[in-house]
Structure 1
Amino acid sequence: MTVYVALLRAVNVAGTALPMAELKAICEDLGFEDGKTYIQSGNVLFRSDDSEAAVAAKLDDALGRKFGKRPGVMVRTTEELEAAAANAPFPDAKPNFLLVYFLPEKASTDALKGMVAPDGEEAVVAGREIYVHYPNGSGRSKLKVPALKPGTSRNLNTVRKLAELARAME
């Protein structure tokens, strides 16, 4: 069985509350095994024989039934998360100021076209991830990159921890 990490978009923000125990139960109801969540931001790890695309679709559909709309689910394997953490650009950035945006599909070559970065933010596209360094933090940033909208972000510390937890499940 493959270990997957599902990263939910728009959960526990803007009134879309989902207790992590409920997320784990939804995963179990879908037949995913050994489910565990990490922090309250929509991260769940589990095992499944299904493909990555099937896992994402099943979980997104189930959450769509619960919320009345699909939040968006990005799924990565242990190896993909490890690579996302290991290949992070901006080596001098504080890990909590470097966000990895996980996208549902590979970013286009012009994904950063029209980027507005008034606080000196920097971004790098790498396949299905876009890395953004927020030198002043992301909380008040006015960064505008339309390509980020369908994705969900986690800071580098969280990505590293999720990769570590996933590896421990292998």
Structure 2
Amino acid sequence: MKTHIAILRGINVGGKRKILMADLKLLFQDLGFADIETYIQSGNVVFKAPTSDKLEHLIKKAIQEKYGFEVPTIVRSLNEWEKSISTNPFLSSENEGIERMHLTFLKETPKQENIELAEAFERGNDQLSIVGKDVFLLLEGKYSQSKLSNQFFEKKLKVEATTRNWKTVKKLLEIASKN
């Protein structure tokens, strides 16, 4: 069984689309996954699965059937997660605190013309770097104040997206590495 990390978008935000992490863990058990661990209430799940095939589809479908709403779901293997972390171009920047860094995970690699549209967008002092299925962000202020939101990337890149701050990205690696 291989270790994976699932990141769910838009649950437990403002009291809407509520899923308790204990219930989410049970749902993952019902899907046949093992060594399941959740992190904070925003839909981060580390788990082991016997296969890597169609995990996003299985999880998304199970949530839809149980809760009656759709949740964008992105799953990465531990190896993919490690590669994403090592690829961050902003880690080498001097004096860059992790509180300014975020990683937007994309469902699939966007088309080059869509990448060019996103990169050409006027974004002030916020920086971005698109590498494969990852968008690395180095923001001037808070994520909630940036124009570089999930909706922005979904519109410009035409793929599903969900974002985590760098602290969460690193914590999920820590959990997955123990798993």
Greater mean deviation of Cα atoms: 118-127 or 76-85: 118-127
For 1:127, the aligned partner's letter is G
Q: Residues 110 and 158 of structure 2 are in contact (CA less than 8 Å); yes or no, is this contact kept in structure 1?
A: no
Q: Which amino acid aligns with 1:97?
A: R
AA aligned opposite 2:171: K
Q: What's the counterpart of residue 18 of structure 2? A: 17
Compared with structure 1, are the counterparts of its residues 118 and 124 closer, same or farther at alpha carbon in structure 2 (3 Å cutoff)? Answer: closer
Aligned residues: 168
Detail structure 1 runs of 4+ shifted over 4 Å in the superposition.
Answer: none
Alpha-carbon distance change, 118 to 104 in structure 1, aligned in 2, over 3 angstroms: closer
| Unmatched 5+ stretches in structure 2 | none
Q: Which has the higher helix share?
A: 2
Give the aligned partner of residue 122 of structure 1: 127
- Within the alignment, does 1:102 sit opposite 2:112 as a pair? no
Which residue identity does 1:106 align to in structure 2?
Answer: T
Name the structure 1 match of 2:27. 26
Q: Matched residue of 1:139: which SS?
A: helix
- CA positional deviation for 1:148: 7.6
The SS at the match of 2:147 is coil
CA contact 1:98–1:133 (8 Å) conserved in 2: yes
Query: Which position in structure 2 is the counterpart of 1:166?
Result: 176
Kindly provide the amino acid, as one letter, of the partner of residue 62 in structure 1: A
- In the TM superposition, 1:45-84 aligns within 5 A as 45-51=46-52, 53-84=53-84
Q: Which runs of 5+ in 1 are unaligned?
A: none
Secondary structure at the counterpart of residue 62 of structure 1? helix
The TM-score with structure 2 as length reference comes to: 0.85
**SS in structure 1 at match of 2:54:** helix
RMSD: 1.9
Q: Which residue, out of 101, 110, 113, partners 2:117?
A: 113
Structure 1 residue identity aligned to 2:65: R
SS at match of 1:107: coil
